[in-house]
């Protein structure tokens, strides 16, 4: 039962953070399309590891600095929108899955594969 509660809490944190990240005014954070891919919270709800995937990121180092700068505001807003005993401290990790998927898709599209012509049947 505790796992179900923790999974629901992770989903709620993911949903709220995805909305909050759109309203961060720091230009270092607003570099591309940001999506929260996964959230894992510790059992005591003290820490939450948040995986972010950013498509079109210009500078990864500046993005991380912007997230670190905005983490206090994000935590406060998260606490005010969710009713938890403790508001977890947010730890951000970058997930490169969207960029990797786009790269693989581009490689597949650029392959020079000759289409087989259908054989004509003799009548």
Provide the whole-model pTM: 0.75
Q: How many domains would you assign to the chain? A: 1
Report yes or no on 119 lying in a domain: no
Helix (H) or strand (E) holding 28: none
Report yes or no on 121 lying in a domain: no
Report yes or no on 118 lying in a domain: no
For residue 6, give its domain range. Answer: 2-110
Report yes or no on 96 lying in a domain: yes
Report yes or no on 85 lying in a domain: yes
Mean pLDDT of the chain: 86
The pLDDT tens digits of the residues spanning 19-32 come to 999 988 888 888 87
pLDDT for res 27 = 87
Q: Which residues, in sequence order, are bridge partners of residue 93?
A: 51
The pLDDT tens digits of the residues spanning 64-74 come to 999 999 999 99
Q: Which residues, in sequence order, are bridge partners of residue 39?
A: 50
pLDDT for res 1 = 45
Helix, coil or strand: residue 56: coil
Nearest-CA neighbor of 90 among 79, 104, 101?
79
Report yes or no on 56 lying in a domain: yes
Domain containing residue 7: CATH number: 3.30.300.20
């Amino acid at each position: 039962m505790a796992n179900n509660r923790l999974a629901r809490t992770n989903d709620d944190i993911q949903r709220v953070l995805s909305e909050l990240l759109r309203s961060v005014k720091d230009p270092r954070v607003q570099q591309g399309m940001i999506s929260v891919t996964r959230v894992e919270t510790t059992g005591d709800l003290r820490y939450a590891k948040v995986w972010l995937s950013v498509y079109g990121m210009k500078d990864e180092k500046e993005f991380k600095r912007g997230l670190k700068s905005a983490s206090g505001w994000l935590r406060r807003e998260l606490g005010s929108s969710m009713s938890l005993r403790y508001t977890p401290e947010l730890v951000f990790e970058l997930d490169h899955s969207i960029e990797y998927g786009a790269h693989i898709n581009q490689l597949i599209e650029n392959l020079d594969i000759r289409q087989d012509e259908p054989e004509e049947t003799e009548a």
